[in-house]
Structure 1
């Protein structure tokens, strides 16, 4: 994965066509199977323009991940998370909502799920960049999504929100590991196939909220 150097100004119209085309091709064929020739053809640009703009296929893939994420961010309704009365309700509501979004944005979800699953035999540097991308997304969103719920819960006086957030991040890391393994074992899975993982998440949240010791 070489450093990207823009040698010519980037035409916004061409960038838009390239990213729409790369989203379609990467989501259909994953990273290894995607061909820059097909992306160039769909975008109606030369292959040389793609490499001048993005440097290499790996940088184009990362740019496409960001493009897919931005597409979803522009329409996502955060109140689905923030208005939940409990963390458990948040998980249930968010899962149903994500399934609805998946039907509206199939290419975005296919690309993001493929990337989340680990990219198979893609270059190690690209895998590292993708892992870093998802870690940043989690860190940026976790407080924004759960803080309104925590503000409504009767939290013990000796526990601060920052501690709960760190526990939530740790829990999400565990869920991420389970999800990645599931996606690697079931590459054609979509969000409707995640019942077992959702059950685990609800169990983790129940223990987080109520502990794991019997009440005396």
Structure 2
């Protein structure tokens, strides 16, 4: 048995998404109120639940919309491929900072969602982690493009190198999550410049080694 999709008024959906982006950006998942979202969107609370089913589903839809916006805005195909891993981190940070200035609510929603994912309801965690995997797939592609501009040592497996670099990205993300658990004042990429510097240091070590030869 299939569930019929509820027909949605595009204008009301746009207003709900705008209101939800702002509410979840400002207050986070737990403190954002659907009553306030409904009032800001000029719709009934019942309509929000008719469209989305639950606050959890509305939140996931909001993060999906923010993810789609940042992926459409920061399109890797629109930028020149950097020649080294450190430049990849620097460029990525620059693009995300620019996105945060032009889309503050969307950026804050993503910072909250990915930084505090382990504090969300279990079902929401699974869906948010799936969205994170989508963004990681884009990063993996960009890393491969950078490696294609470099000369790897003979005998090195390209996929193994990419896996190692992705492991470092996961470490950086884990450090960011640990920071978010203790700090709730991250409003932009400027507030986590330390993690950018850490990522640059890690990538520099990966690319150039850590022992004198």
TM over 0.5: yes
- Provide the residue aligned with 2:107 in structure 1: 109
Q: How well do the aligned residues superpose, as a CA RMSD in angstroms?
A: 2.1
Give the superposition deviation at 1:78.
2.1
Conserved in 2, the CA contact under 8 Å of 1:81 and 1:93?
no
- State the partner residue of 1:192: 190
- The 3 A distance-change label for structure 1 pair 6 and 187 is farther
- Offset of residue 148 of structure 1: 2.0
**Please, what TM-score do these two structures have when normalized by structure 1?**
0.87
Gaps of 5+ in 2: none
Residue 134 of structure 1: aligned partner? 132
Contact 1:80–1:97 (CA under 8 A) maintained in structure 2:
no
Shift of 1:115: 1.0
Unaligned runs of 5+ in 1: none
Distance in 1, matches of 2:97 and 2:44, equals 36
- How far 1:185 moved relative to its partner? 2.1
1:13 to 1, 7, 11: 11
How far apart are residue 213 of structure 1 and its match? 3.3
Instruction: Check whether the contact 2:25–2:109 (CA below 8 A) recurs between aligned residues.
Output: yes
Query: In structure 2, what is the Cα distance between the partners aligned to 1:47 and 1:194?
Result: 36
User: How many Å separate the matches in 2 of 1:25 and 1:147?
Assistant: 37
Q: Name the residue aligned to 1:180.
A: 177
Q: 2:85 aligns with which of 87, 108, 113?
A: 87
Given the superposition, is the C-alpha separation of residues 120 and 141 from structure 1 closer, same or farther in structure 2, using an over 3 Å criterion? closer
